[in-house]
Structure 1
Amino acid sequence: MARILLVPGFWLGAWAWDEVAEQLRSFGDEVTALTLPGLDPDDPDRLSATLETQARAIVDAAGESAVLVAHSGGGAAAYMATGLAPERFSRVVYADSAPIPEGHTLIPALGDVPDFPLPQTWKEVEDMGNSLAGLDEPTLARFRERAVSVPAGVAGRPVTLSDSAARLKVPTTVICCSYPSELVQRLRDAGEVPIFRELRDLDAEYLDLPTGHWPMWSKPAELAELIHEAAGR
């Protein structure tokens, strides 16, 4: 049994992990899915959230020890959390995500607007590099209905990492969905794509799960199995 903390990406709350969490619990794992600060639609102060407040929320939710699973844009706060308290994470699993490097901004063109909503069309979402492969119309409708805009302090501010290099020693697994692991590693080595650059300093394992950018919906059982296996290493 492992204690697993699930962190969703942009526009999503803990609900996005429901199917994966159920499958992990069937394996005997203890699972917590986290709605990050800024992504709770009922929080009147949510737009004041920052990457730093999200990272600290992850540390608090981890307790004494957890396997941290981060999806998509959640990888930024997750990686920051491993720098704040590396001893609290027995492993980090990035699901179609990556450890975001110092100074990188997820949405650099955000400007002075207060938040970053889900784009109005699915074509715009895919044009951002987010494959919708494997998602049916009911899933897309639920996504659209429940999506919450991302505060500017999260989407439009640069990542800041702690001075400690201990985060680099946290065991790391990268589950590659939109891009095959062979391509991710080539982009990592070339150093030209910022979101993969930090992987050069990590001794990570790479697993393939061919699907779109939201594997928790397109292949929840398969994703849960890979997370469970990684957590047991």
Structure 2
Amino acid sequence: MANFVLVAGAWLGSWAWDEVVPELRATGHGAHPLTLSGLAEKRDVPAGQRTHVQDIVDEVARLDLRDVVLVGHSYSGIPVGQAAARIGDRLARVVLVDADVPADGESFVSTWWEGPERLEAAIAEGGGFWAPLTAADFDGQDLTDEQVARIVDGSTPHPGASLAEPAVLDRPLGEIPATYVKCLLDGDEPTGDVAALLTSVHWTLVTMDTGHWPMFSRPRELARILVEAAEG
């Protein structure tokens, strides 16, 4: 039995996995959705990126989990990728769902696709937080109006410090067993850093014909992919 620790991306909490968790548990696996500090019900907790890494490490220890599959979506691939090396032999695999990946010494901001200055300005305008997306930002992502409303209504501003702090890798990411899930409506090909990691014998690519938030648009299919990654 695998134990999935599920960490959603920017602005989201553990609630983002509500439709995935029952599917995983129905197969006999453990499913443990985690809200990172500074978000959702923990929105009043100060948080940087190292806080988020520690949140994940602490959750594995608190629940005394073994055969852990760490699942990181979007931004959360960065803390998940760092936490993977820190939980030692408790780790079975990492699954990165259309996720960013950590690079030693780099931050989410420093590798932002529009340039660091653009994201730094957005965080400054938000008083140190990255404002959530609006409904229009979800166009073309395979989501119903109801699903978009659920995401928008549940999102909370994302703590900027977690985006600005550089990653610290205790182990090369390419050495860690991983599955990368590429959501094709958010781009046909993995980014260059992910493509480089996929040359490792330890990494596997899986694609989904959906948008960037498959836990909402295709929860059953995503759960099946997670189980196959854990069991394969």
Q: TM-score, normalised by structure 2?
A: 0.83
SS of 1:231's partner is helix
Percent identity between matched residues is 31
Q: What is the deviation of 1:171?
A: 0.9
SS of 1:133's partner is coil
SS of 2:156's partner is coil
* Residue ranges of structure 1 left out of the alignment (5+ in a row): 189-193
| Distance in structure 1 (CA, Å) of the matches to 2:76 and 2:201 | 18
Match of 1:140 among 136, 148, 164: 148
| Distance in structure 2 (CA, Å) of the matches to 1:168 and 1:39 | 29
1:58 to 1:96, Cα distance in 2 relative to 1, 3 A: same
Task: Tell whether the 8 Å contact from 1:100 to 1:195 is kept in structure 2 after alignment.
Answer: no
> What is residue 172 of structure 1 aligned with on the other side?
178
* Bigger mean CA offset, 64-73 vs 173-182: 173-182
| Distance in structure 2 (CA, Å) of the matches to 1:71 and 1:93 | 9
> What is residue 9 of structure 2 aligned with on the other side?
9
Task: Tell whether the 8 Å contact from 1:117 to 1:150 is kept in structure 2 after alignment.
Answer: yes
**What one-letter code is carried by the residue in structure 2 that aligns with 1:3?**
N
SS of 1:5's partner is strand
SS of 1:94's partner is strand
**What one-letter code is carried by the residue in structure 1 that aligns with 2:57?**
V
Q: TM-score, normalised by structure 1?
A: 0.82
RMSD over aligned CA atoms reads 2.4
**What one-letter code is carried by the residue in structure 2 that aligns with 1:30?**
G
Q: What is the deviation of 1:3?
A: 1.1
Task: Tell whether the 8 Å contact from 1:181 to 1:208 is kept in structure 2 after alignment.
Answer: no
> What is residue 115 of structure 1 aligned with on the other side?
129
1:132 to 1:202, Cα distance in 2 relative to 1, 3 A: farther
1:88 to 1:106, Cα distance in 2 relative to 1, 3 A: same
* Residue ranges of structure 2 left out of the alignment (5+ in a row): 110-115
Given the alignment of the two structures, is residue 183 of structure 1 paired with residue 189 of structure 2, yes or no?
Answer: yes
